Structure 1
Amino acid sequence: MTPYASFYFFVIVGILLIPTIIAGLQGKMLRKYNAVVTLIMLAIIFSDKPKQAVALALFAIWQFILIKGYLTLRQRDNKTSIFCAAVILSILPLILVKIAPVVPALKSTVFFDIPAIKLVVFLGISYVTFRAVQMIFEIRDGLIKEITLFKFWEFLLFFPAISTGPIDRYRRFQKDVEKPPSADEYKAMLYTGINRIFQGFLYKFIIAYLIKTYIWDAAISKQATFASFMTDMYSYSLYLFFDFAGYSAFVIGVSYMMGIKTPENFNKPFLSRNIKDFWNRWHMTLSFWFRDFIYMRFVFFATKKKLIKNRYTISYIGAFLNFGIMGLWHGLTWYYITYGLYHAILFIAFDIFERKNKKHKFWPNNKFTHVLGIIITFHFVCLGLLLFSGNLGRHF
């Protein structure tokens, strides 16, 4: 059963969470019961995908052994080489999944009559990997000092977010489960959670459906013209937002019903004044993950080691690295990679513009420029999302 794809999924979740809701209204959190609910829901989600269920179990075991082992080694010796090896081993399954479509050897390699790639692929591998790798980074920083098997899989396999964003952080998640909300706080969370689920229905099953069915599909089926190009660009951008924001609303809503304040993923991204503002509003948990664990790490390392003297050059290389990897994460296709590089160029161009404007003041800060900035940013973003869709080439 695909998460959040049918009414029956929500009925099952609602029935299973009745004890959780009753306990929450009394100011209690049933952690062990919620863990059982997670196992039941994972069994339902993967009931028609037994090979993926096995892959998920093997992945979780692999990550726990790796994280527990790295935690032990980190307490003895904090060598960078050990940290890098742990990160590489943690993301190795995801790398195999991403490169499999373009590496014939992975398709043809057989182990016990099972194609090698099927040993690691499962629904939601990207988001689960992000959660696991984040734990390795925070162990490296000394922020995670102990980990138990129960805490590990309670976080890693949290079923509301198993297949999609938002991407939570281990320490933030643990604060929620170790300090349950009071009865009054839970009432507010339950109200918010139910509202977010209804918002998800509105976004995904009504608005996104109508845009795709009656506007976007019609645009891409027509002969390429300027009008079809603009319709394709606008409609796909809006469809992608409402579809993904709808999924995120479902995740947040169910999480709140379980007493977990899963972070927001979207904050009115099409009202962004510039490209930096956009990435602080669009798929925020992914954007912040890349910012914290790729961009900032590279900038800190390059500055500390004095690899390059100019701090702006370091920042711009970091931007290409950050957005380039983000593009590769989506898939090894020209349009995903180009999409990442496109945003790196926009990010750098705006930074140069912003620095020159501070000196020369040619772009005043007023209501007119604010609105104009939103309009300009919106069109650059929509063009990038059209590139992301892979449909840009059909218009030329």
Structure 2
Amino acid sequence: MTPYGSFTFFFILAILLAPTVILGLLGKKVHSYNMFVTVIALGIIFASSLQQAIALIAFTIWQVVLIKSYIRYRKKSNSDFIFYLTVVLSLVPLILSKLLPYFSTITFIGFLGISYLTFKGTQLVMETRDGLIKQDLPLYRLLYFILFFPTISSGPIDRYRRFAKDLEIEISREEYKLYLYEGINKIFRGFLYKYIIGYSINYYFISKLKFIAHSPFEHHLYYMYAYSLYLFFDFAGYSAFAIGVSYIMGIKSPENFNKPFISRNIKDFWNRWHMSLSFWFRDYVYMRFIFWMTKKKWIKNRNTLSNLGYILLFLLMGFWHGLEAQYIIYGIYHALLMIGYNTFERFNKKHKWWPQNKWTHAISVIITFHFICLGFYIFSGYYFN
């Protein structure tokens, strides 16, 4: 059963979370029961595919063994080779699940949510290396973090230290009322975004473009803008569901979208769109690449180094979506946009060509919106169909 994909899922969810709400309103601890709910919910989600269920269990064992082994190792030593090996081993299931379908009929490695679960596991290894995680993690807490079911299919990608703080906080009756109010509000926003606005755009406009557009150019142009809006409302709706259910369970999962279509430049956009993924790639790919190259002193020019970092980041993001041409071109497109804006920003800082006022801000938002929509048009693969 796909999470948040049917009203049946929400009905089952309401039954499972009813004791959570009662406990919370009575000022009692909810996390122990919610761990039980997570197990039941995962069972329901993967009940239709024994293959995916087995893959999830095998993956979880793999990640837990790697994480706990590396935490114990890190207390005694800090070899670069062991760290890189552990990171690669953590990523192996995800890499195989992405590549194997293109080269063979083997599909038993992948399962719903493997990307988000992998990112959680890999960040634990990296933060252990950085000394941010020093103590061995209790098994139940580690499993709960990795397998936390509300965010398994669509994110957002949480950070362990933030998640662990939520588990340690004693939530009073009055505080839980705010959690519950916020959670329900986000769930209703999810219904508005996904099942009303997103559905309407797709059903009443995108699916009827052949009757609306009068030329191939118009057809593709209308599709570009409609698909961009549909993608936002559909994905933001899923995220709102996940975050809302998390709040009801006493976990403040991070926001994933922050009005991305009012971004004033492409950097601002990536600070607003799918923020948990964007920040994950920024912190664990871009910043580490910059730090590593700076430490090795292989490239001394900061601008060149930054631009290479953008190329690496967005190419990886493109390949993460798939090996199809549109995803790779999408990654290259956004890398070029970031490099272009980087160059413009340096030029403008020196020559003050583009002043900062409400008019230039509005123009910047409009220009950025069109570039974003063109990127989503590429991402959709519509041109290649």
- Decide: shared fold, TM above 0.5: yes
Task: Please state if 1:210 is matched with 2:200.
Answer: yes
Give me the whole-angstrom Cα distance separating, in 2, the residues matched to 1:28 and 1:333.
50
1:111 corresponds to which residue? none
1:26 corresponds to which residue? 26
Give me the whole-angstrom Cα distance separating, in 2, the residues matched to 1:29 and 1:12.
22
Give me the whole-angstrom Cα distance separating, in 2, the residues matched to 1:224 and 1:136.
53
One-letter code aligned to 1:249: A
After TM superposition, give the deviation of residue 24 of structure 1 in Å: 1.4
Identify the match of residue 277 of structure 2 among 283, 286, 300. Answer: 286
1:41-190 aligned at under 5 Å gives the runs 41-104=41-104, 107=105, 115=106, 117-118=107-108, 120-145=109-134, 146-190=136-180
1:189-338 aligned at under 5 Å gives the runs 189-219=179-209, 225-338=216-329
Give me the whole-angstrom Cα distance separating, in 1, the residues matched to 2:92 and 2:214.
43
Query: Is this contact kept in 1: 2:31–2:250, CA < 8 A?
Result: no
Identical amino acids, percent of aligned pairs: 58
Give me the whole-angstrom Cα distance separating, in 2, the residues matched to 1:227 and 1:122.
38
Give me the whole-angstrom Cα distance separating, in 2, the residues matched to 1:61 and 1:325.
26
One-letter code aligned to 2:23: A
After TM superposition, give the deviation of residue 334 of structure 1 in Å: 1.0
Give me the whole-angstrom Cα distance separating, in 2, the residues matched to 1:224 and 1:175.
56
After TM superposition, give the deviation of residue 344 of structure 1 in Å: 0.6
One-letter code aligned to 1:237: S
Give me the whole-angstrom Cα distance separating, in 1, the residues matched to 2:351 and 2:45.
57
Give me the whole-angstrom Cα distance separating, in 1, the residues matched to 2:274 and 2:170.
27
Gaps of 5+ in 1: 108-114
After TM superposition, give the deviation of residue 224 of structure 1 in Å: 5.7
One-letter code aligned to 1:149: L
Give me the whole-angstrom Cα distance separating, in 1, the residues matched to 2:120 and 2:205.
36
Gaps of 5+ in 2: none
1:4-15 aligned at under 5 Å gives the runs 4-15=4-15
Give me the whole-angstrom Cα distance separating, in 2, the residues matched to 1:47 and 1:283.
29
Give me the whole-angstrom Cα distance separating, in 2, the residues matched to 1:181 and 1:224.
59
Query: Is this contact kept in 1: 2:187–2:245, CA < 8 A?
Result: yes
**CA distances 1:265-322 after superposition (whole Å, capped 9, x unpaired):** 0000000000000000000000000000000000011111101110111111011001
Secondary structure of 1:76's aligned partner:
coil
**CA distances 1:74-112 after superposition (whole Å, capped 9, x unpaired):** 1111111111111110110110111112223xx2xxxxx
Query: Is this contact kept in 1: 2:186–2:240, CA < 8 A?
Result: yes
Query: Is this contact kept in 1: 2:30–2:250, CA < 8 A?
Result: no
1:379-394 aligned at under 5 Å gives the runs 379-393=370-384
1:110 corresponds to which residue? none
After TM superposition, give the deviation of residue 220 of structure 1 in Å: 6.6
After TM superposition, give the deviation of residue 223 of structure 1 in Å: 7.9
Give me the whole-angstrom Cα distance separating, in 1, the residues matched to 2:373 and 2:72.
47
Query: Is this contact kept in 2: 1:266–1:284, CA < 8 A?
Result: yes
One-letter code aligned to 2:88: I
One-letter code aligned to 1:47: A
Give me the whole-angstrom Cα distance separating, in 1, the residues matched to 2:305 and 2:249.
43
Q: TM-score, normalised by structure 1?
A: 0.94
After TM superposition, give the deviation of residue 219 of structure 1 in Å: 2.6
After TM superposition, give the deviation of residue 27 of structure 1 in Å: 2.9
Give me the whole-angstrom Cα distance separating, in 2, the residues matched to 1:220 and 1:346.
31
One-letter code aligned to 2:152: I
**CA distances 1:240-287 after superposition (whole Å, capped 9, x unpaired):** 000000000000100000010000000000000000000000000000
Give me the whole-angstrom Cα distance separating, in 2, the residues matched to 1:237 and 1:181.
39
- 81-90 or 144-153, larger mean C-alpha shift: 144-153
Task: Please state if 1:347 is matched with 2:347.
Answer: no
Give me the whole-angstrom Cα distance separating, in 2, the residues matched to 1:182 and 1:234.
45
Query: Is this contact kept in 1: 2:3–2:153, CA < 8 A?
Result: yes
Q: How many residues align?
A: 383
Q: TM-score, normalised by structure 2?
A: 0.97
Misfit runs of 4+, over 4 Å: 220-224
